[in-house]
Copies of this chain bind each other. A is one copy, B any other.
Amino acid sequence: MVVEIVCVGTELLLGNIVNTNAAFLAEQCAALGLSCYYQSVVGDNEERLSKTLNYALERSDVVILCGGLGPTPDDLTKETAAKVCGLALVEDAHTRAMIEAYFEKSQWKVIPDNNWKQAMVPEGAIVIENHNGTAPGIIIEKNGKSVILLPGPPNELIPMFKKDIAGYLNRLQPEIICSKMVKLAGIGESQVADEIDDLIQKQTNPTIATYAKTGEVHLRVTAKVKNEEEAKKLIKPVVKELRERFGNYIYSVKEEETLEEAVVKLLGKYDLSLTTAESCTGGMLAGRLVNVPGVSEVFKQGFITYSDKAKRKLLDVNKATLKKYGAVSEETVKEMAKGGVFATDSDVCVAITGIAGPDGGSEEKPVGTVYIGCYIKDRIMVEKYLFKGNRAKIREYSVVRALDLLRRSILEHYEDNK
């Protein structure tokens, strides 16, 4: 089945916002086993939107339109789609009640007249409740094809897609698609690919696809099945096999779990308090940990020690160490990590020092040289990296590697030595 994504909005054509909806929808559709050959962006303009929708309907089975469902007159995605499909707009009583309820809860007590427009739906369409806004999703089925209209704001579109649209698309297919994500860190994409080359060759159902994210590799195991029970039966042994091959490189098998969430969970599991000591990343590691709600249970404080003096004063790094080995060295990162633990009476400290550039590199220590250290219960692990890319990339990779070193340090200490 072929799906096509059409995003509607002048702000996209002007480049005021980046089209994250297209990426989200494309990734979700791929995970459902749907083929997608075209994406397009068009403004809030009836003529051009009609043309685009007609092109899309000629060459695809399902067209997902997002954006342009708002209450103002220039929002005309719904009106245009209804016209293209030859349907009249009628008021949907349930949606009207939902809009009333939405405003009841909100700070605006008067409902703007415009908003009633959002209760109008193409005759016979399937209406999808919007739990985060006033524009409902709409599915029009016509001549064996489907046109799906979704609201543009990602905080409305994403939950609606996951709750209702993914299931709808799956039911359109002769076989349903189920998948499981296996997330790895601390290992490169090509090494992962090499190690599962035989599985990829052999496996046709489920299939295994690899995705490289910054410093991470995600494997999606996808099965085409008749029901969820069959999916479990097919997917489980493959995930088991991947666990055997990759062991601790796997940080999660949950679709939504991030590396920082996995790390915070692990710290909580062993009741460990964490400190961070950052030089070149300058707070980005801590900032990423604090993405996790509830991180305060394990993370109380951190240091940014950008200068040598700060490393000495806040982390008690030896002056002689800095002089002899330099701020970017194995010796310094060890003392930073140890110093972080002692300064705060924490259980663990992860430290980063490196040269993010563009200046400061040398023959011996080029831009991209980064040392990461993790001190845990009197043991210390240090890793040296040479990252490529600009200042931002080097810092981003450093953060991912530091999170992963922290994760592996805990695992080695608590789980491998059991």
Contacts and interface: CB of A to CB of B under 8 A. Distances in A.
Contacts of A48: 37-38
A357 interface: yes
B291 A392 contact: yes
Contacts of A413: none
Interface of A: 12-20, 22-30, 36-43, 45, 48, 52, 55, 155, 211, 276, 278, 280-287, 289-291, 293-296, 299-307, 309-310, 313-314, 344, 356-359, 390-392, 395
Contacts of A296: 306-307
A293 B34 CA distance: 44
Given A290-B284, A306-B300, A14 B27 contact: yes
Copy tally for this chain in the complex stands at: 2
A13 B40 contact: no
Contacts of A40: 38-41
B276 A287 contact: no
Contacts of A295: 282, 306
Contacts of A291: 391-392
Contact of A15 (B16, B27, B305, B306): B27
A293 B303 CA distance: 20
A309 B346 CA distance: 12
A268 B283 CA distance: 21
Please name the 3 residue pairs, one residue from A and one from B, whose CB atoms are nearest each other, closest first: A282-B290, A15-B27, A283-B283
A12 B25 CA distance: 11
Contact of A280 (B281, B284, B290, B344): B290
A283 B286 CA distance: 5
A316 to B, nearest CB: 13
B42 A13 contact: no
Given A36-B13, A37-B48, A314 B301 contact: yes
A38 B52 contact: yes
Given A301-B305, A301-B310, A283 B290 contact: yes
Contacts of A303: 301-304
Contacts of A306: 290, 295-296, 299-302
Contacts of A15: 22-30
Given A282-B290, A301-B314, A304-B304, A16 B27 contact: yes
Contacts of A344: 310, 313
A183 to B, nearest CB: 15
Nearest to A308: B300
Given A301-B306, A310-B300, A310-B301, A390 B19 contact: no
Contact of A300 (B23, B290, B307, B359): B307
A289 B303 CA distance: 15
Contact of A37 (B19, B23, B42): B42
